[in-house]
Amino acid sequence: MAEPGQDWKIAALMFLYLCASFFLELIRLKEDKYYMKIAYKEAEIAYKENEIPIGAVIVCDGKVLSRAHNKRDSSNIVTRHAEIIAIEKANKKKKNWRLNDCILYTTLEPCNMCKEVIKSSKISKIVYAAVSTNNNNDLTENKFIQIKDKGIIEKSTIIIQNAFKQIREKDK
């Protein structure tokens, strides 16, 4: 218990803690937006290459460790998803299969296959933009977080919808 007349000190410390927490969250949101924009640029590359436009970036210690986009159609290899390619590149750069302190940014909620690879690689946090309607992911784990930036969510959703629209039109 605080001494009489010392309550203001406790209140001041609590206020400082809340302010610091608020500013740290603002910085984190700004970083998330920055790295998600890089992932979106990868998705645009995939779109231009007639791939499903999904981009991924792995960040470790505030630096981009790897970036990738889908290459499944051009490689004819089913596992060439952006997230898996980015993980493989990061593994090679770190010379380690464990990516414990890394964050994965991806423009689409990971599919079940990618989710299992992400878990195995020990990535500490996953930030995604668009929500997938094609899988039954249970992303209730704390490390899967949808980005808060509505603009990036919308752009990521639209580019994927446009790609599938073009595929459907081509198949007619």
Identified catalytic residue from 83, 109, 116, 154? 83
Residues 35/103, Cβ–Cβ less than 8 Å: yes
Which residue type sits at 84?
A: I
Question: 83 an active-site residue?
Answer: yes
89 Cα distance to chain centroid: 16
Pairing type for strands 102-108 and 125-130 reads parallel
Tokens 């007619």 correspond to 172
In sequence order, what DSSP letters do the residues of 127-171 get, joined into one string? EEEEPPSS------STTEEE-S-HHHHHHHHHHHHHHHHHHHHHH
What single-letter DSSP state applies at residue 51?
S
In angstroms, the CA 121 to CA 109 distance is: 17
CA distances from 112 to 54, 79, 136, 137 (A): 15, 12, 8, 6
Catalytic residues: 83
